[in-house]
Amino acid sequence: MFLLIYPGTPARPVSRRRLLQLSLAAATVAAVAPLTGCTTGNPTDSPRSPGAHPTTRDRSVGLGARLSEDLPYRVLENGDGLERVVREDLAVRPDGSRSEPLALAAFGHITDPHVLDATNPGRLSFLWQYLDFEDGYPTSGRFRPQDVLTVHVLDATVRAFNALGKGPESGRPLDALVISGDLTNSFCTSELDAVVSALDGGRATSNPVGRYEGIQDHGRSPRDLFADVWHPEPEPDDADSDNWKTQFGYPTVAGLLDAASTPIDAPGAAVAFYVGFGNHDETGRYGGSRISPWEQFVDLVRTGPRLPVDLPRGMKESDFWEQAKGNQEDRKRLLADLPSRTVTASSERDVFDKATFRTALMRPGSLPEQPTTEDALYYSFDLSDKVRGIMLNTASPDGGTRGVLDRKQASWLVEQLTAASSSYRDDDGETVTADVEDRLVVLVSHHPLRSFEDDATTADDGGESLARDEVLSILSRFPNLVLWLNGHEHRHRVEAHPRSDGSGGIWEITTASLIDFPQQSRVIELVDNTDGTLSILATLIDHSSAEDVRHDGPQSPTSLAALSLELAANRPGLDPRPVMGAAEDQNVELLITAPF
């Protein structure tokens, strides 16, 4: 049985240390042949040699043979490439011949790396033996077997785009990478340090103490917690294996934890990159003035030398939550009473703030179209000379998972869209013309439209947030906005949003995460078909191939990233269809009427 995982030289270099300031203490469908004969929008661009990294048009990666005859775990296997699907929801390609297509931009889309410090005591991993476990499976919403390998996956993804080097259909050199939020998992500096180096180049590791000290080794642990966590190292003599190994066939990989804790010499991105803010990057602390008692308890644990492994004998979960939310002395007493292991303390596990994030990513002069306040993490940028990018911050200021666009940011967004559109509709639906240079616009945010609430809400989060219909209404007023890229949902989905007047619409592309199956990104190409239509070509990119996985012997950053994909693909109970989407959510050509 072969289960497809529908996954698959620099154009503008950047400084290798650009982000290191972060470490101050992340529907109609039909098969269509590849587009050929494209030229780039800049005649001075030099031709590129073919990229060394294949896309999912060339090859897919899937699950093949079982590792053990009696257990379900399967190894990775390379398979056939995936066909491209053309969607004509918003425009139909005219009949007849057309001139040579013109490539306007080519760039990568990465989202939800969730780079995490798997050894951070503040994860409170001992609670996994009580909470969130799925029926019949030794898994939790908070633990993944690949947790220690998130830096390796981000690094491998960057390397894949570097090797690809160009749009696979148009041949245009890559202009940039855009990363739509959730760079980190727990908004702590050790995680951001790793993101910094993986993107900008340098020694990348999310483990600030240089060795593994956590629940995936064979240190002290209650049986219930031990059984429901995968331990990659061989068991000590006469010791039982965990449920991941005995029930589901997860492998023994000697030396994995040491290898995963060894810093990577990351090359960094070979092109410019633009980073967004996600809900996992948002502390919800409002500048530190509203830290809840529970958050204060987590802060007490995260940087300290104690790794809790269980509740005190006789303590109920409800008692734990109550004491954790008590006064400072209650919290200290609770931590002292928790059965714990001694680990290495690290101040690098403390949380970062928005000002730090902004200072590193949006230095003065680097992105001229940005607000001035320290916590306004939205900005506009040039993807190419023909295409403008707009990065929104849709993370809820309270740290919640919903998408938020408040009135202040919405007003700024309208200003940016107006500056790129010679013709658009105002609030009353009347056409407005302006003497400005038309440019295509690509919107980038962490949240998709589906994550915004049905009704506008007013809360103490900095202003009134727009309802879902209001957000779409604003975007639909501007015909130059042709594409919206986002993530958050950890799945692939492509959706068309027609304009109410029948004049085209907006394509929305949601890409899956790098931490969960299928760990894919996309390369996006915007092409002028020179027949009154544009094509948005989206191609899925795998960061690894089957032959890269090693279950024994020395490990490398490449083999560790590939193993992460295999671990994620084998997650017990995983239904791949919702996260992979249908064929029309994967490799696609999206047609749209040219707005000018």
Domain chopping of the chain, boundaries:
3-13+61-131+146-203+265-281+351-593, 306-342
Find, among 329, 323, 203, 181, the residue nearest to 267 by Cα: 203
Identify the residue whose tokens are 């400084």.
15
Identify the residue whose tokens are 């949240």.
447
Q: How confident is the model at residue 4 (pLDDT cuts 50, 70, 90)?
A: very low
User: What amino acid is encoded at 27 in this protein?
Assistant: A
Least confident range of 80-94, 251-265, 344-358, 376-390: 344-358
Res 314: pLDDT? 92
Higher pLDDT, 418 or 360: 418
Both tokens assigned to 134 = 């799925």
Res 357: pLDDT? 79
b/e for 341-359, b at 16 or more Cβ within 10 A? bebeebebbebbbbebbbe
Instruction: Work out the average pLDDT over 154-172.
Output: 97
Alpha carbons 241 and 268: distance in angstroms, whole number: 38
Question: How far, rounded to the nearest angstrom, does the alpha carbon of residue 379 sit from its chain's CA centroid?
Answer: 19
| Residue 62 · residue 80 · CB < 8 Å | no
Res 91: pLDDT? 96
Q: How confident is the model at residue 142 (pLDDT cuts 50, 70, 90)?
A: confident
Q: How confident is the model at residue 244 (pLDDT cuts 50, 70, 90)?
A: very high
3-state helix, strand, coil in the chain (%, to 5): 25, 25, 50
Instruction: Work out the average pLDDT over 518-534.
Output: 97
CATH class, range 3-13+61-131+146-203+265-281+351-593? alpha beta
* Contacting residues for 21 by C-beta, under 8 A, at least 6 apart: 356, 359, 360
Q: How confident is the model at residue 33 (pLDDT cuts 50, 70, 90)?
A: very low
Instruction: Work out the average pLDDT over 80-84.
Output: 96
- Tell me whether strands 457-459 and 423-425 are parallel, antiparallel or unpaired: unpaired
Both tokens assigned to 93 = 């390609």
Alpha carbons 217 and 229: distance in angstroms, whole number: 10
Distances (CA, A) of 586 to 61, 450, 541: 14, 19, 10
DSSP state string for 320-352: HHHHHTS-HHHHHHHHHHS-EEE----GGGSBP
Alpha carbons 413 and 122: distance in angstroms, whole number: 37
For residue 368, the number of C-alpha atoms closer than 13 Å in the C-beta half-sphere is 2
Q: What is the largest CA-CA distance in the chain?
A: 79
Q: What is the pLDDT of residues 254-265, one digit of tens each?
A: 999 999 999 999
Alpha carbons 514 and 521: distance in angstroms, whole number: 8
Residue 548 phi/psi, 5-degree rounding, is -80, -20
Least confident range of 186-200, 284-298, 361-375: 361-375
User: What amino acid is encoded at 568 in this protein?
Assistant: A
Res 372: pLDDT? 57
Q: What is the pLDDT of residues 370-399, one digit of tens each?
A: 665 656 789 999 999 999 999 999 999 888
Predicted TM-score (pTM) of the model is 0.90
